[in-house]
Amino acid sequence: MIIRSNNEVLKEFFKLSSIFLFCRSLSALLVYKFLSIYDDRIFSFTDLEVYSKSDINIFSSNFFYSFLVRIIGYNSENLLSLKFFIISFLISFITITPLIFLCIKVLSKNSSIFFILILSLHPYLSLYSLKLDSNIFATLGVSAFALWIFYSNKNTLDLSIILSVFSALFRNALIPLLWIQFCLIFLFKRDFKKLRFLGLFTLFLITIFITSSQVFYGVEYISQNYGCYSLENIYKSLLEIFSPNISKILSFILTPIVHIILNLGAREAIAIYCLNLPSQYAANNFINLLTTTSFLLFHSLLLIRLLIYIFKNFEIRKLILLCPFSILLPTLYGTAHMRYLYPLIPYLIFVQFLPRNCEILKNSRT
């Protein structure tokens, strides 16, 4: 852990934030211009129609996110307005500020600069920084979890769990990670004062409410036959080669593997229409294949390096680094594409720069 004065921390935070905002602005502009070559729709957000116009209730998917976009008037008609570009851009920046703070506390100055540059110039993240997508809140939840495990004290514990619960209200994919976080809190922390315990218990009750309101949608999500590479479609493909029983077993084994690959590199249209996209979704098929392969290789490399970091000098505590990936569990049999990986990409990039002696939840009892 790197010790700096408060003034040094503020100066470093301002410097890293400035670099990030400048590079991300440049990257977002380039990606937006590039889309006119790649996708005839220029800029789209298909789920926004569902969130902004369909009937909703407390059991609807991401109810509070739907409620938010309706209050602020965010819909497909004003998706390209400068006001919502700015709002989305600023919120996306706020969601990664815990990681910028961790740069100052955990990483060296050179590593911090490299992390900020890679993070800010990542084209997929740049694209989604212009959309007020519900995954923005998932990014905040993952960043908050990282803040606690890499810089453990009573302040980051409180802040982390509050941000995680808040984020889960807007993005239900965080529910598994939220439950894991509560388990870790009660496993590593036992000296709760009454006021803090009351606060945690209140957040625990909110988590139960969030979970119970989204569980039926979760079951529906996992069981739906949606997209080109769904469990049912993979099963049908295997039937051409194997018997029904063997095909069923193999489909349950192969589907999670295929979906992990989709999460690592496939845009949403590929998950729906297969790799060879219609021209209205990819005007240039070569660019489609090139970008898909590039994202797949880059994100796979990040994941492999993380696994090497965990298992090379193995400690049980290091397995905690895999906890954020719990947000991908529903995609193993439900719909899978790179948008579900989006909240994990900043985290995946950050852990590449961790020092070998990085402490994980070492001070969690203090």
CA distance 11 to 6: 9
Q: 111-120, 183-192, 205-214, 297-306 — which is least confidently predicted?
A: 183-192
pLDDT confidence tier of residue 365, bands split at 50, 70 and 90: very low
pLDDT confidence tier of residue 320, bands split at 50, 70 and 90: very high
The answer as to whether 361 is a domain residue is no
Domain count, the chain: 1
pLDDT confidence tier of residue 225, bands split at 50, 70 and 90: confident
Q: How many residues does the chain have?
A: 366
The answer as to whether 257 is a domain residue is yes
The answer as to whether 266 is a domain residue is yes
Q: What is the separation of C-alpha 105 from the centre of its chain, rounded to a whole number of angstroms?
A: 22
The answer as to whether 15 is a domain residue is yes
What DSSP state is assigned to residue 36? H
Average pLDDT estimate for 128-156: 90
Contacts of residues 293-299 at CB distance under 8 Å and 24 or more positions apart, as own/partner, are 293/265, 294/265, 295/124, 295/264, 295/265, 295/338, 296/261, 296/264, 296/265, 296/266, 297/265, 299/264, 299/265, 299/338, 299/341, 299/345, 299/348
- Looking at per-residue pLDDT, the higher value among 19 and 36 belongs to 19
The answer as to whether 24 is a domain residue is yes
The answer as to whether 359 is a domain residue is no
Contact 336, 268 (CB under 8 A): no
User: What's the chain's average pLDDT?
Assistant: 87
pLDDT confidence tier of residue 144, bands split at 50, 70 and 90: very high
The answer as to whether 366 is a domain residue is no
What would the two tokens of residue 32 be? 């937006």
CB atoms within 10 A of CB 329: 16
Could you list the residue range(s) of the whole structural domain that residue 77 is in? 6-351
Residues in Cβ contact with 205 at an 8 Å cutoff, skipping those fewer than 6 apart: none
What would the two tokens of residue 63 be? 């109810």
pLDDT confidence tier of residue 219, bands split at 50, 70 and 90: confident
pLDDT confidence tier of residue 179, bands split at 50, 70 and 90: very high
Predicted model pTM:
0.91
Cα dihedral 20, 23, 24, 28, rounded to 10, equals: 180
CA distance 131 to 203: 29
Task: Indicate left, alpha or beta for 216 from its phi (over 0: left) and psi (-120 to 50: alpha).
Answer: alpha
CA distance 199 to 283: 53
Average pLDDT estimate for 17-23: 96
Summarize pLDDT for 248-281 with one digit per residue, the tens. Answer: 999 999 999 999 999 999 887 777 777 776 665 6
pLDDT at 41 over 60: no
Summarize pLDDT for 51-104 with one digit per residue, the tens. Answer: 877 777 888 888 899 989 999 989 888 888 889 999 999 999 999 999 999 999
CA distance 152 to 160: 10
Name the most confidently modeled range: 9-13, 31-35, 110-114, 221-225. 110-114
The answer as to whether 303 is a domain residue is yes
The fraction of the chain above a pLDDT of 90, given in percent, is: 52
- Amino acid identity at 86: I
What DSSP element (H or E) covers 333? none
Instruction: Give the residue from 314, 318, 327 showing the smallest Cα distance to 351.
Output: 318
Contact 299, 341 (CB under 8 A): yes
Q: 70-74, 239-243, 286-290, 300-304 — which is least confidently predicted?
A: 286-290
